[in-house]
Amino acid sequence: MKKEKKSKKSDIKEVKDSKKETKKKIANDEKKLEVEHKKTKPSYDGDYDSLKKVMIDSATLYQNILVLPRTYHAPDGAHSLYPSELKALDMIGAFSPINLTQLANKLNISKSAVSKCSAKLLEKGLITKDKSETSVREVVFMLSQTGQFIYNQLEKSNLELFQPINENLSQLSPDEIGEFQHFFSNLYTSLTQIYEELQK
């Protein structure tokens, strides 16, 4: 009986020791991962002027990206479209059939600007125009077959374009995201105040 009790105690001790070793191993592995994570993260000096410069450069580069034409491939070939044309194509696809006045209101631009933009889309064969069923004097715009093909690519194309930014954001911790939100919220408020001052 005594031998059996000793054997049971020995087994329990071995299990406890095994659990302790497992916990230690997990803790050590976690520490190693933290160290490796810190090593892979680039370190930056907390320099005010450098921060300001990289913010301005990033904002400028982002604006430059937004005004560049983008190429879309369709069965009839490649089509290079400027942002204004893409916005118009997107609205026509979403609200087809749509007349010139409605399109101008949706895009928040003048009728003459919409007229020029729609003329380019017609020339490229991405939209069609037809007489309105409600007004004889009015014409409405619709997507052509090629226009529909490109329209179907727009959402996916935008996601892919900014995928590197999304990947960087996904690496942030909840605390880091909160700090960024707080910082940019204050920055937006400051820029709004400057904008309003210049509008006076």
Least confident of 41-45, 83-87, 130-134: 41-45
Residue 185 belongs to a domain = yes
Q: Say whether both 122 and 177 belong to one domain.
A: no
Within a domain: residue 25? no
Ranges of H-type helices in the chain: 2-40, 48-67, 83-95, 100-107, 111-123, 145-151, 154-161, 163-170, 174-199
Residue 191: give the domain boundaries. Answer: 162-195
Least confident of 19-23, 57-61, 138-142, 149-153: 19-23
What digits encode the pLDDT tens for the residues 178-193? 999 999 999 999 999 9
> 126-147 pLDDT, tens per residue?
999 999 888 778 899 999 999 9
- 46 vs 119, higher pLDDT: 119
**What's the pLDDT score for residue 52?**
87
Q: Is residue 38 part of a domain?
A: no
**pTM for the model:** 0.65
Does 132 map to a domain? yes
